[in-house]
Each structure stands twice: as C-alpha cells, then as structure tokens.
Chains A and B, each alone.
Chain A
C-alpha cells in the first residue's frame, strides 16, 4: 500500500445522510472477481439514469465540484459489508471521506484500502458544507500525522481520531496481512493451548 501523505485538495459535497454501500456500489456490479473497474459504477444509480445518461442534479456530475475528498452526511457507509464500496471510491479517485459518523465495517474497509475516513463533529461538517457551498473551489487540508483537518480559506480546523495502529500502517504503507503472518508462531501456540474446536470434516462435491 502507498504511504499516506498530507492531502490538500478541493472536495465534493454529498449532503445526504445514511448513504449505504448499496448506493455506493449497487449489488449488480459485485460479480467481478478482481478489484478493477468499480470507479465507473460508483454511485451508479444516483449518477446515471436507466439509459445511462448522467443525472445532472447529482454532485459527481456537477463540474463545479471536483477533488479527491468526499464530504458526506452522517452515518456514511452503512449496510452491506462489501469492500467493493471502498474499492469504488478509491478507483474513482477519492483518497478521503469526511463525515460526522461512519459505519464500522465501511470504516475498516476504507482504512484497509488507503481511503481515509475522517470523522468530524456535526458542527464542523456543517462548516465544510457551507464553505464549499460558498466557494466550490475551496481547498481542504487533511493531515494524518497531526490528525487535523482544515478549511484553508478561513483557517477553521478540527482534530480527528484515528486508531493509532491504523495510523502507523497508513503512514508507513504496511498492511495487516504482513503483520499477522509475522505472528503465526504465537497463533499456533494459542491453538495448541486451547481445546474444544472441532473442525468440519472434509466433504466436497
């Protein structure tokens, strides 16, 4: 995974609450067996009508907005555990999502794919929406190391929380798999020390 650096960019405002992963990437696009190509179907049914024409009202179709930061309403990423939602956001070009609340599984999936979920207070989220409404080219700066998000033109700033382990992973570009494999000896020892697990017999067709 790439190392996560300071991100300064314009943002796309999606002022809707409870955006679920079925909207981020509808189930019918989950038949792929690789991670490519999900970006073009990100928010598919909000972005395009059934004839494939862009729906002008939707923020991703409005040229005044662009950038690698998505600002979204409360409780972003609820619903299905599909990691395809994080892949789609990443493939589209988003490097961070800012909201006042994230669903657990989405948050984990995003972190595992280098898309930073930045949880801010509802007040700060409002300020972000207002700043972008006033000036769509407004720049937002997200500093992972300092756990700080700021609105550049007016200097409004807020700190955000992130799991320290995850933060280290992102800053250094490590991932959990390498870490767990380095622990296999301890895992084996744990298995030896406990009992009571019965494996399912091998039955295959």
Chain B
C-alpha cells in the first residue's frame, strides 16, 4: 500500500495494536519541563514505578523562568519551588537536565533541535502542545498531558489512536516581506482553529521545500493552532545539513546510515490523505490577528470581517476593535519578539535587518527574548545585539517569557502587544492583555513606527 511520510514513521513505532483500541506507540525522545512534569513524577513515586528509559528523556527549564538576572535565586517562590522539584526529580531518576544557566538551556522546542536531539524519523513527545514544532524535521512530534507524561515515564510508550492524515500544499513564489509566520497564519485564517482536529498535517509544496529549518519550525509549531495534533515536513538536504554536526546528532558512519533511512521518509506518490488543501503563495501577504484565537487573522492592510458570530463579537469587544476597521495606524505600546514560534537566530536576523539604522519609537516597550542560550550567544556573535541596542532595544535572557506570562514579563491590562508568539487568547500575555500575532518583521516594524503600519512599502 502507498504510504505517507506520517504512516511510515508511525507504523514503524507501533509495538502492538490493541484490537478495537489504540496503538501502543514507542517514543524515541521525551522532552520535559518544570510545569507539566511534577505531578507525573509524584504519581510514579506514589505508585512506586521506576522511570523506564531515563536516557531517552531530556529536561529543560523554560516556562516560568525569569528573563533577567538568571544567575540570582528566583524571586517568585512558587516558580523557584517548581524548578527545584524539576532538578530533584531529574537527579533522582538520572534524567539529563539543562537547567537555568546551562549553556544548553532554552525553550524546549528551540534547544532540542539545535542540539541535534530532534532527528528525522523519530517519535517525540513533550507535555506541551507546541511539540509539533519538531515535525519540521520529518518527525512525529506532539504534545501530551501530564497523565501521558507519566505513561511515557513508566513505559517509553503511549496508548494513542492513529490520527487521520491531512496535507496542506502551498506552491508558488512568496511576495517580498512574507515570512513563514505569515504563511502559517494565512493557512489557519483560511482553515479555522479546529479544521485540523483529529489530524496530523503534512506540509508540502515548493514553499516549504525552499524554507530554512527555522522557517519550517515556525510553520509546524502552529499546527496545533488549527487543532492538528502535529504537523510535519519531509526531511531533505536542508534538514540533513541542519542536523549534521549538531552536538547529539549521529556522527560519521552512523550519520550516513541514518541519512540513508531518512531519505526513504517521503510520502509515496498517490498515497492517500483524508483531507487535502491547496494554497497559492502569491495570495499570501504579511498577516496580523485581530481577535482572540489564532484563526482570526487578516492581511496587514486588511479589514476586520463584518459577518462574525456571537463569539467573534465577544473577541472584538475584548480587543476593542470594530468590524470593518483596519488595524493600520493603531498605536501599539508593546512588542514581543520571542517564543518557540519565532525566537531562533533567523528571526532575530530578520528583525535586526529591518531595525538597522533606525530608532525605536518612544511609546514602545519591547521585549526581545532569544529562545535559548545558544541563540543568545549567536545574536551577540553576529553583531545583532549591537544593532538592537543602537536602536534602543535591550535583549533579555532566554525563556518562554511573555508568550504565556508565567514570569514577570507581562503585558499590562488593556494594552496591545504585537507578538511573534502563537496564541492570542484572552489574557494569555497577562490578565487583560490584548495580543496581536504577527511575524518578527511586523513586530520590528511596529516597534519602530510605534503603531501598526504598512512597512512593506519601504522594503527593498
């Protein structure tokens, strides 16, 4: 039978299929962090169950960590306790932890790929919905709840029903200034936030083939925002080049042997999908969101739709926007460049290239937060930090930061924030905050203008 990329990886990880029930799916890598693991460790302890394969687990601290003075003890006592428990739990169970201050520390979905922990053909899970990010490598990666974290601790497996398959094709030539973030915001705005429920989504077409690994990660990251369990892109030379030489990537003959296997991970011609969509690159423009879910997106210069539902009206009331209006010229006092969607080196290169030689608007408070220590070092090494500082921005230390505002990085009530993160839910960036999702370029341009503007006119 013709198989899709997804089938090939899934089927090779099934330990057993339960008749009339789920599959026992083997998990290659289990990533954990401080927020969704403590209750799982407690459960193991209570039931006296050992961690089955500690060497296949990697831990980081990211969700509630401060982005300033990381060398000092954490002020927030609850956060401090959570991190302490993570360290203790990892130590007791022989799990590798790249804690705060470690050169490999960072947001779980940024640090694992850049260390070569994420590799094509794997199954990867993490107690975090944006685990879909790792699908950029041609990996089945998805977010799980804490009960499932316990299951993987206990057995390195999960009981899961095989999802259905969806393919989104985008072909053509992207316009100047249209970034991977715009592509995925466009797709979600067209398909809606639950179109992917029950599916795993493969992204195909020359637009994705021509994207860098960073761009592919941005796209796969937001698969969950259309409801899909995960997204993935077939591995190719771009993938192999990225993985090769990374700290924990296979080396030498091992690499060649695995690469030969990875090359087989392509969807067979004529393989069937349960659902398929086709979009044209030429139709995509820089995107922004105007509502309180990631599907409520329009092009930067577009108008808010007038024919919304009751829930849309509630969202607009929260955002203080009106149907029919455009967001151009709206004053914005906050911008955030960061999160596992857009905090990789390429995101900062794009932002810096726009910012270079310009000054930040006075009204704007900017949070610029690299995704990992390695990205932070690279920003410095490439001279991007100097560009940001000359324009009046300061860089923070890595972490999830204002993406979910579990630390001190919050957007005040009622304020708009043009954010490169992935969720614009009510209060996501702090109680009463109003999030406008966009690309790093749009965020950078907003910081310079102090308002939402059609910067594409000035791009060369």
Contact = CB atoms under 8 A, between A and B. Distances in A.
Interface string B75-98: 010110110010000110010111
B27 to A, nearest CB: 10
A26 B410 CA distance: 13
Contacts of B248: 198, 200-201
A160 B237 CA distance: 46
Contacts of A109: 145-147
Interface in B5-54: 12, 15-16, 18, 20-22, 24, 26, 28-29, 35-36, 38-39, 42-43, 47, 49, 52
Contacts of B157: 180, 183, 187
Contacts of A183: 15-16, 24, 155, 157
B258 interface: yes
Interface in B289-316: 293, 309-311, 314
Contacts of A83: 36, 39, 127, 145-147
Q: Say whether chain B's binding surface is mostly helix, strand, loop, or mixed.
A: loop
A154 B145 CA distance: 38
B373 to A, nearest CB: 12
B227 A32 contact: no
A120 B397 CA distance: 46
Interface in B423-441: 423, 425-428, 431-432
A202 B57 CA distance: 10
A42 interface: no
A60 to B, nearest CB: 16
Contacts of B82: 31, 33
Contacts of A196: 121, 257-258, 261
Interface in B362-383: none
Interface stretch (A4-12, A13-21, A62-70, A134-142): A13-21
Given A34-B42, A104-B229, A204-B97, A177 B151 contact: yes
B56 interface: yes
Interface string A192-205: 00101111111111
Interface in B94-112: 94, 96-99, 101-102, 104
B147 A18 contact: no
A203 to B, nearest CB: 6
Which of A16, A45, A191, A198 has the most CB atoms of chain B within a 10 A radius of its CB? A198
Interface stretch (B190-198, B210-218, B275-283): B190-198
Given A16-B314, A27-B428, A204 B159 contact: no
Contacts of A80: 128-129, 404, 423
Interface in A140-191: 163-165, 175-177, 179-181, 183-184, 186-187, 190-191
B194 A27 contact: no
A203 B428 contact: no
A119 to B, nearest CB: 11
B42 A45 contact: no
A86 to B, nearest CB: 7
Nearest to B122: A197
B316 to A, nearest CB: 14
A199 B194 CA distance: 36
Given A31-B406, A34-B42, A86-B145, A22 B423 contact: yes
A199 B101 CA distance: 23
A199 B122 CA distance: 12
A22 B293 CA distance: 11
B154 A33 contact: no
A103 B195 CA distance: 10
A79 B314 CA distance: 18
Given A28-B405, A34-B39, A83-B146, A50 B155 contact: no
Nearest to A183: B24
A197 to B, nearest CB: 5
Contacts of B310: 15, 17
Nearest to A189: B15
A205 to B, nearest CB: 5
A175 B155 CA distance: 13
Contacts of B154: 177, 180-181
Contact of B145 (A32, A73, A108, A197): A108
Given A31-B78, A50-B432, A105-B229, 17 more contacts: A20-B293, A22-B427, A23-B427, A30-B63, A34-B38, A81-B144, A86-B145, A163-B161, A165-B21, A176-B147, A176-B148, A177-B47, A180-B155, A180-B159, A183-B15, A187-B156, A200-B29
16 contacts: A18-B193, A20-B423, A27-B405, A30-B64, A31-B79, A45-B431, A79-B129, A81-B128, A163-B161, A177-B154, A180-B151, A181-B154, A186-B24, A187-B156, A198-B250, A204-B97
Closest 5 CB pairs of A and B: A165-B21, A31-B78, A83-B145, A33-B38, A112-B147
Interface of B: 12, 15-16, 18, 20-22, 24, 26, 28-29, 35-36, 38-39, 42-43, 47, 49, 52, 55-56, 58, 63-64, 76, 78-79, 81-82, 85, 90-91, 94, 96-99, 101-102, 104, 117, 121-122, 127-129, 143-148, 150-151, 154-157, 159, 161, 163, 193-194, 197-198, 227, 229, 248, 250, 254, 257-258, 261, 293, 309-311, 314, 404-406, 413, 423, 425-428, 431-432
